[in-house]
Chain A
């Protein structure tokens, strides 16, 4: 049951509390969060389901490698953050 947390910068726009969800991959874990909180999805993913360009996701401190498919294994806490690239 990975834990998923979201950047505080998101909280002013949409409710995004930490969640404990089932999921073997980052995709499965995020989908489980979005199933409970559908509005959140469009803030994290683009229309094709890839990570938004200026959103970063870490698993246990390592950035995910598959930003489109999100197939990285959900082996530790998943942190959804705002990349500095977006200013």
Chain B
């Protein structure tokens, strides 16, 4: 039976048969969740006591704490500072994304460190080849005081990282060497000289088509984009009713289909005209349908954050959770939506598993 996991400000919520089946870590922020079968990883963010990682091997019935990724010792010398003058800590502040490929677990963090574990979280290696890039010192916080890695995509030896703000970084050799990609992305918020600077693009979220992973969908701070060449070049898309947003989900088999969750604009992070909608394309982003059946169409203030939209492995069911605690699911690719609750805590991530 398909489960849906909802990581929230006040715990991890498991949904079965359209209802809340279980709550773990009650009262504690759960910043990310990953689930495949009986294996579930939950990133727990104890404000005072740091970010921790817990693993379940029985489908979420019980969890045990495993090691969280940690920074290596910082070389002696003054604090590192970002271009805003803020100290970049060499210490884990938040687990922002969790992915697994084969037996290897990957974590993208705040600050923007990438980590891998080959033993299910018993030990971690930082991907130094990315952290040690000189360009890293130009990255800036996007949504948080420190920059972070919110999207990690693994396909064979290819590793892609989406960084807010630090653009799209790619490795074709399992993380040994890295290059900046993202030609075609542009930043309205930058001075003219930096408009096309790849390293300062505020990538909000990346989603790839599992069957054709060269096809990437990218929600950016000031637009939506699609790539058909593994992120080397992008085409800008016109998403109705607005191209601003955080989340995007890619159909696992059809490289022409993706879903976006638009909001008005960066300074007005609410649905256009108070009507909650999802924008779907089925022709590679040339055109979009605005889907609204079952979603509130007036006085809606919901925002779907980066990891708040997911599609299942079949490409049929969708889940969408908002920062104001509403959760909807769809069983027909977004044509119609069912409200599961409007009373949940702020939702950080939804994930089928």
Closest partner residue, chain B, to A10 (CB atom): B49
A55 within 8 A of partner (CB)? yes
B307 within 8 A of partner (CB)? no
Q: Mark A24-62, 1 if CB is under 8 A from B, else 0.
A: 000000000000000100111011101010110000000
Query: Given the complex of chains A and B, what is the CA–CA distance between A82 and B49 in angstroms?
Result: 8
Among B47, B65, B89, B92, contact of A54 (Cβ-Cβ < 8 Å): B47
**Is the Cβ of A46 less than 8 Å from the Cβ of B46?**
no
Query: Given the complex of chains A and B, what is the CA–CA distance between A10 and B91 in angstroms?
Result: 20
Among A14, A44, A47, A50, contact of B92 (Cβ-Cβ < 8 Å): A47
**Is the Cβ of B71 less than 8 Å from the Cβ of A48?**
yes
With contacts defined as CB atoms under 8 Å apart, how many contacts are there between chain A and chain B in the complex? 43
> How many B residues face the partner with a CB closer than 8 A?
16
Q: Which residues of A contact B46 (CB under 8 A)?
A: 13, 43
Closest partner residue, chain A, to B73 (CB atom): A48
Among B48, B71, B74, B90, contact of A83 (Cβ-Cβ < 8 Å): B48
**Is the Cβ of B49 less than 8 Å from the Cβ of A13?**
yes
**Is the Cβ of A42 less than 8 Å from the Cβ of B47?**
no
**Is the Cβ of A47 less than 8 Å from the Cβ of B47?**
no
Q: Which residues of B contact A87 (CB under 8 A)?
A: 47
Secondary structure dominating the interface of B:
loop
Known: A39-B65, A42-B68, A47-B92. A52 touches B49 (CB 8 A): yes
Query: Given the complex of chains A and B, what is the CA–CA distance between A72 and B269 in angstroms?
Result: 47
Query: Given the complex of chains A and B, what is the CA–CA distance between A14 and B92 in angstroms?
Result: 19
Interface members, chain A 1-38 (any B CB < 8 Å): 9-10, 13-14
B52 within 8 A of partner (CB)? yes
Q: Which residues of B contact A42 (CB under 8 A)?
A: 50, 52, 68, 70
Query: Given the complex of chains A and B, what is the CA–CA distance between A42 and B53 in angstroms?
Result: 12
**Is the Cβ of B49 less than 8 Å from the Cβ of A55?**
yes
Closest partner residue, chain A, to B74 (CB atom): A48
Interface members, chain B 247-272 (any A CB < 8 Å): none
Interface members, chain B 87-119 (any A CB < 8 Å): 89-92
**Is the Cβ of B48 less than 8 Å from the Cβ of A47?**
no
**Is the Cβ of B50 less than 8 Å from the Cβ of A52?**
yes
Interface members, chain B 43-85 (any A CB < 8 Å): 46-50, 52, 65, 68, 70-71, 73-74
Query: Given the complex of chains A and B, what is the CA–CA distance between A16 and B319 in angstroms?
Result: 39
Q: Which residues of B contact A9 (CB under 8 A)?
A: 48
**Is the Cβ of B49 less than 8 Å from the Cβ of A47?**
no
Query: Given the complex of chains A and B, what is the CA–CA distance between A82 and B48 in angstroms?
Result: 7
A residues touching B (Cβ–Cβ < 8 Å)?
Answer: 9-10, 13-14, 39, 42-44, 46-48, 50, 52, 54-55, 82-83, 86-87
Besides the known contacts A43-B49, A50-B91, 5 further A-B residue pairs in the complex with CB atoms under 8 A apart: A9-B48, A42-B70, A47-B70, A52-B48, A52-B50
What are 8 contact pairs spanning A and B, CB under 8 A? A13-B46, A13-B49, A14-B65, A43-B49, A46-B50, A46-B91, A46-B92, A55-B49
